[in-house]
Structure 1
């Protein structure tokens, strides 16, 4: 699935988002994670994260200012580097080395079936 298709599925289900405020990731089955990079300058604005796990699209809504860049590994000085676990024992927890193990499950606003 591509980002544009994921955005359309979310919109079709009443979630109002745009390409500019949305980050998309497909699951990496080799490591059971979703890799996400968010530009530091966008962390203070509202953000949607769309996670494709092949059977459903998990929609996370991050209110502006609710995350602190100090809690994450910074990639290249410009991007927040997040690695969300898809394992059932650490589901949606940032397991990236250097991160603070933030649990993103509280940001989930929808789980949408993928047809």
Structure 2
């Protein structure tokens, strides 16, 4: 049967000081046998998550491609929303117009695995399927095509917007 550990009482100290010293002594005595580390109860939990922004993602992908293919104007970046398991993009409609860009580059980052997916989508494809996409602020100054690309296995890289037509972008995935 385990022996109960007694902790020191500090006479002449306020109850707050006593409680603080008691807690410190408790952690020193009890935390190491439980976890192997005395500071475990005071250490915040840090997930091993990679932070990547648009500029770093573009630089990383350009390095993989061996040249400056992607730029800030022709590339859009999204981080996986792990609660909904989607990558969300708002693409400006004027960038899809004839004479603007031939390609749109979509970079999809998954922080937990540090995976960076690259979709190279033709603007012709986007224009041809505009009726199956959700356009926000269509009659306003800055209309955007809103995409929610799924990370689920059964609907991988399909647009999951409620007003959309589940258009698949999997064919544009680059190696």
> Is the TM-score greater than 0.5?
yes
Bigger RCO (CA 8 Å, 6+ sep)? 1
- Which is greater in Rg? 2
**More strand as a share of residues:** 1
* Number of residue pairs the alignment of both structures matches: 110
* Partner Cα separation in structure 1 for residue 92 and residue 121 of structure 2: 14
- Name the structure where helix makes up a greater proportion of residues: 2
Give the CA deviation at 1:30: 0.7
Gaps in structure 2 of 5+ consecutive residues:
1-51
RMSD (Å) for aligned C-alpha atoms = 1.2
Q: Secondary structure at the match of 2:174?
A: strand
Superposition misfits of 4+ residues, deviation over 3 angstroms: none
Q: Distance in 2 between matches of 1:72 and 1:43?
A: 13
- Matched with 1:25 is 78
TM-score, normalised with respect to structure 1: 0.90
Over residues 64-108 of structure 1, what are the superposed CA-to-partner deviations in whole Å (9 max), with x where a residue is unaligned? 311132221111220001000011111100010111111111000
**How many angstroms apart in 1 are the aligned matches of 2:125 and 2:133?**
13
- Is 2:141 the counterpart of 1:76? no
| Separation (CA, whole Å) in 1 of partners of 2:150 and 2:104 | 19
